[in-house]
Structure 1
Amino acid sequence: MTLDKDSIIAAIKTKVVEIARTLDCDASDLQPDEIIPATGVIDSAGLLELLAWFESTYDLHIASEDFTIDNLGSMEMMANFLLKRKSIL
């Protein structure tokens, strides 16, 4: 698995699009800097699924105090958070 920002964002977007599709939404135009909960493309259960996938895929434990919009609100923020936690950024 490649841990570069573009690859991480692409993987997150693929998962968001997949989750959105199950809700009959199209997230294919979602931009990396868009705040995912504000777009309405996935619901709260979808957000939980996304975050569980994110932790599992990248072998990352997210502490409850880190569950913030600033850390995990957009695909770009999620990628930056991961890279910082993995000491790559």
Structure 2
Amino acid sequence: MTDAIQEAVEAFIIENFLFGDATQAIAGMDSLIENGIVDSTGVLELVAFIEDRYGIAVADADIVPANLDSVARITAFIASRSAALAAA
């Protein structure tokens, strides 16, 4: 499941922040903010993508680098929230 999430997140980032340029490698733990890929507005776009695609409500307290600053962190955040929704 996490592979599919990671692929969807990477595709979203390439399409929306790298303007389709898949030649820019995005390593799993690379900071999207520090590398200038995502800015504050981009974080909001990313949150909207997560909410729309996965049906996860992202609270203001969840919008922190620990959850949204790399592909690996975003994937882990979505996977943990999806598992919690499935268990509920």
Q: Give the residue type in structure 1 aligned to 2:8.
A: A
Matched, 1:76 2:72: yes
Paired with 1:82 and 1:55, the residues of 2 have a C-alpha distance of 10
Q: What residue is the counterpart of 2:40 in the other structure?
A: 44
Structure 2: stretches of 5+ with no match in the other structure: none
Matched, 1:67 2:82: no
- The number of aligned residues is 84
Q: C-alpha root-mean-square deviation of aligned residues, in Å?
A: 2.2
TM-score where L is the length of structure 2? 0.79
Matched, 1:7 2:4: yes
Instruction: For residues 50-88 of structure 1, give each alpha carbon's deviation from its aligned partner in whole angstroms, at most 9, with x where no partner exists.
Output: 221111101000111111111121111111111111227
Instruction: For residues 2-42 of structure 1, give each alpha carbon's deviation from its aligned partner in whole angstroms, at most 9, with x where no partner exists.
Output: xx1111111111110111234x9767301111111111023
Structure 1: stretches of 5+ with no match in the other structure: none
Percent of matched pairs sharing the same residue: 25
Q: What residue is the counterpart of 1:86 in the other structure?
A: 82
The correspondence for 1:31, drawn from 24, 27, 33, is 27
TM-score where L is the length of structure 1? 0.78
